[in-house]
Structure formats: structure tokens, C-alpha cells
Amino acid sequence: MGDIRRLHNERVIYGKESGLRPMDAEQLRENGHKMVDFIADYYKSIENFPVLSQVEPGYLRELLPDSAPNQPESLQQVFDDLQAKILPGVTHWQSPNFFAYYPSNSSTAGFLGEMLSAGLNIVGFSWITSPAATELEMIVLDWLAKLLNLPDDFLSAGNGGGVIQGTASEAVLVVLLAARDRVLRTVGKTALEKLVVYGSDQTHSALQKACQIGGIHPENCKLLKADSSTGYALSPDLLSEAVSHDITNGLIPFFLCANVGTTSSTAVDPLLELGKVTKSNGIWFHVDAAYAGSACVCPEYRHYIDGVEEADSFNMNAHKWFLTNFDCSVLWVKDRNALVQALSTNPVFLKNKASDANMVVDYKDWQVPLGRRFRSLKLWMVLRLYGVENLQRYIRNHIKLAKQFEELVAQDPRFEIVAPRKFALVCFRLLPPHRNEDFSNKLNHNLLDTVNSTGKVYISHTALSGKYTLRLAVGAPLTEERHVNAAWKVIQEKASVLLSEFGMNGVS
């Protein structure tokens, strides 16, 4: 009887007879410490997991009950399930052997910032709902704008300013809406179907999605061809021709999304020249530097965003390669009123003196959602706890490792580099024995699958001018030279096996 009671007490540590105490400080402390240890231990053993989860679709349904428990379970039971059931289904983005897509940086500073944000758990939609959340965001984004040497127009002191969005998709959406509504205020709402958006065909699918959401006619989302002749960059001449052509046909060009570091191959569009086209045609000029923006805090890479002074908006994801845990996508605009005019609502239940007097920024009007977390804390902590010089060194180290990998690939005549490396992404492929493109694509597809199913490394792929291309992006915070070398060894080994298999089978 005593045992049962003790067991009962342990199980219901969260629920006392007097009612649930879900925010008891000592329970939070005790269990918070346990969770810190769980996470630290995870990072100690992270290399033991297959990087890419090897589970089959539907694996978890069989392992978990059909419904929520009526009575509380213990934290130990949750930890046990995390180990046995959840972690096998995790693809380990923080593994030093994660080279797929683009990185999603975690860091101690970013993690501490996330903890603090979750701990305070404020909802900062208007200034008054936590002035520090709005003001720290403005200040820290000014800091970052200065680091990137963005023109003063993007700073909060004038008509511009920065805002943290969840993702680059949301960033491009909100500026597309701002641009859409700006032009519709001039030409009238019924002209929506005439509005035209431009980008290269290397532009992230987020642009197309933003167009879908914003009601842009699908045929008016024009993705202009960019190929190896321009290093997959958008040609200003091509843009200029398209714009003229569309104007002649009675359409209304209003938005360009240019890239600094495309998702496929880190191509960089020529901002300065594109800016001339947008300027003379009254087109909103957005720069998507989601990935490569981080590198531009290093003076030697800053030139990639030369011409940003012509842009209306600029976006980089601090959660990709700047040690700020997901999500933290930073957007700067020159004309914050354009955002506010497209996205503001002013319900009576949120009215307050500071907002009514126009003395403050209410970030709810710069984004799609109403509520928002205190995300500037983590970026602030990353900048302070690491300092600018360390952050620059961090970026440079990854670029150096990618360069070394590129050299390894170049030294193996069975492989080729498919697109020039600019940052820390290497695009490469296995050359087929008998230069047949279809076969080459199958071969590289097979190589990708074989490499990733080892669990030792995770890389991803893209298509460049129809070529199935492997992508290895250095950028996980734990990645060191040995991991890059080991990844190359796995790729070489699996390539040898594949080539010899196909050679033996005589397939070509």
C-alpha cells in the first residue's frame, strides 16, 4: 500500500490533489536540468545515429498508443520513449555528418536564447505586449544590418527596418504582398490578374508559393532561364527584355526576386544591373540571400551583395548558417509603411495608447501571423556570446572545408564539379563511363541513395541544366575536417562499388 502510494506520488509529480501545478518553479528547475542533460548527452552521442533516419513510413504509429493517457506519466517514461521511439525517426540536422540541403545551425547561444524565449513565453504582437521584444528586435537587426554593411535606408532610424520572420518563404510572401498592394493602390484592384513577378528559374519555390497565395496569375510568375553560361545567374538583359515585352502586352511588372546564393548551386544574381531594370520600371526589388547572406558578414564576401542599395528588401536566414536556432529569418525593408499597409489590422481589442499615438512599431503589421515569439533574444545572444570575429571565423572555416572537398572531388577523374563553388556548397557528380546523360542521372541518383542509406553521411541533390547533381553543403556547427574527409571516402567507396557493378553488368 505504501509502495503503491509512493509510486502514485512519483507518477503524479505534476498533479497534486490540490490541482495541477504546471508552472511550479522548482518542478521546472528539477526537470529543466534533466532535459539539459538529455540534450547535452544527445550531442555527445550524435555521431552514433544514422544521420538520415532509416525508418519506414508509418513506423511510429505502431509504437505509440491510440490516445492520450488519462493519468500523468513520468518524465523518465518520456525520456525512455524519446530514446527508443523518437530518436530513431529523427534525421540529425546537427550531426557533423549532415551535408544535405543547407545547414540549420544550432548553437549553445541560440539554444539558450530559445530556452529563454520559451521560458518568458510572451506574445509580442504589439509593442505594449512586451516592449523589450519589439525594441530588442529593432536594435539587433540594426546591428546585423551594419555587419552586412546594408545601406542606411534599411535601418530602423529612417523609414525602413528589420523584422524576424519564421522563414524565407514568409519573407518573400510579405514583401510580395506589400509590393502587390502598393501597385494596386495605383492601378486599381481589378488589375491583379495583370501583375507580373520575375525571378530566375533557379529561384526558390517559395516565390511561386507566394504568388499562389497572393493570387498572382500562375502564368505571370515568370521564371527566366538561367544556365551554366551565366553560372546560373539571372541575366539583366533577359529581365529587361521580359519586362518590355510584358509592358507591351498590357501587363504590369511589379516584383523581382533576385538571389544571392541559390538553393541549387549558390548562384549569385548581379544585383546592381538588375536594380537598374527594376528602378526604371518601378518594380519592387527583393533580394533572397537566405543562405549566403551569412557569409556577407565577412568583408571578403561582402561584394556578393554589392548592389543591394538598389533593393527594396533583403532577406537572410540566421537559422541557416549563423548559429541561431530555427526559426530566425531576417528581413529588412526600406519602406516599412508598404508592409504595414498590406498587413495591418487594427481590431478594437488590441488598441492601446502607444500604438494609437504612432510612437511604436507593432510587428504584427509586418508579418502574416498575429502572435510572435521573442526571437530576437537568440540572435542577440549569438552576437554577444560569440562576437563578430568568431562568427566570421566560423563562416570562413566552413568555406575552407568546402574548398578542400572541392579539391578532393577535382582530383578524382571519375567525378566532375558541376557548378562553380562560391561559398560552402559543392555541386558535383559522378561521370558515367559512357557519357550518356540519362544513365548518368540514374547513376548519381543511385549513388545518392547508397551513400545516404549508410547512415554515415547525408547529402542531397538538385538538377542543373538537366544534370542530376549531388550537393554537399558544409555548415553544421560540429563539422570538422575529418568529417568532410570521411564523407568523401564514403562517396568514393560507394561510387567504386556502383561503377564496378554497372561495369560487370554491362549497363550503359
Question: Which residues in 275-314 contact a second copy (CB under 8 A)?
Answer: none
Task: Give the range of 250-258, 353-361, 412-420, 498-506 binding a second copy by CB under 8 A.
Answer: 353-361
Stretch that binds a second copy, among 93-101, 269-277, 414-422, 493-501 (CB under 8 A): 93-101
Least spacing, CB of residue 506 vs a second copy, in Å? 26
Minimum CB–partner distance for residue 237 and a second copy (Å): 26
In the complex with a second copy, the residue whose CB is nearer, 236 or 479, is 479
Angle (CA) 358-166-44 rounded to 5° is 135
Q: Kindly state whether residue 7 participates in binding a second copy, applying the rule CB under 8 A.
A: no
Of these, 281, 315, 444, 462, which contacts a second copy (CB under 8 A)?
Answer: 462
Q: Measured from the CB atom, is 97 or 106 closer to a second copy?
A: 106
334: helix, strand or coil: coil
Identify each DSSP E strand in 356-448 by its residue range.
Answer: 415-419, 425-430
Instruction: Report how far residue 477's alpha carbon sits from residue 326's, in angstroms, rounded to the nearest whole number.
Output: 13
Question: Segment 392-411, which members bind a second copy (CB under 8 A)?
Answer: 393-394, 397
Size of the chain, expressed as the number of residues it contains: 508
Read out DSSP for 114-178?
HHHHHHH----SSGGG-HHHHHHHHHHHHHHHHHTT--GGGSTTTT-EEEEESSHHHHHHHHHHH
Residues 6 or more apart whose CB falls under 8 angstroms from that of 471 comprise 99, 100, 101, 264, 265, 425, 426, 427, 459, 460, 461, 462
Query: What ranges in 18-98 are assigned the alpha helix state H?
Result: 25-44, 75-81
Q: Which of 373, 375, 397, 262 is nearest to 318 (CA)?
A: 375
Chosen residue from 286, 336, 429, 461 binding a second copy by CB under 8 A? 461
- Dihedral angle of Cα 491, 492, 494, 498, to the nearest 10 degrees: 130
Nearer to a second copy, 58 or 506 (CB): 58
User: Phi/psi zone of residue 506: left (φ > 0), alpha (ψ -120 to 50 degrees), beta?
Assistant: left
Q: Does 20 bind a second copy (CB under 8 A)?
A: yes
Give, to the nearest 10 degrees, the angle between helix 168-187 and helix 205-214. Answer: 40
Asked if residue 120 binds a second copy (CB under 8 A), the reply is yes
Site string for a second copy, 136-165 (x = CB under 8 A): x-xxx-xxx-xx------------------
Applying CB under 8 A, the span of 238-246, 307-315, 324-332, 497-505 interacting with a second copy comes to: 324-332
Say which residue the cell 544527445 belongs to: 42
**Residue 57 binds a second copy (CB under 8 A):** yes
**Cα–Cα distance measured from residue 293 to residue 188, given in angstroms and rounded to the nearest whole number:** 36
Site for a second copy in 421-450 (CB under 8 A): 449
**Does the protein bind a second copy through residue 251 (CB under 8 A)?**
no
List 6, 72, 241, 356, residue binding a second copy (CB under 8 A): 72
201 binds a second copy (CB under 8 A): no
Figure out which of the listed residues 6, 7, 10, 60 binds a second copy, where binding follows CB under 8 A: 60
Q: Among 256, 287, 342, 408, which residue sits at the site for a second copy (rule: CB under 8 A)?
A: 342
**Site for a second copy (CB under 8 A): which residue of 7, 8, 9, 131?**
131
Tell me: does residue 132 bind a second copy (CB under 8 A).
yes
Q: Does 226 bind a second copy (CB under 8 A)?
A: no
Residue 189 and residue 258 in contact, taking contact as beta carbons nearer than 8 Å: no
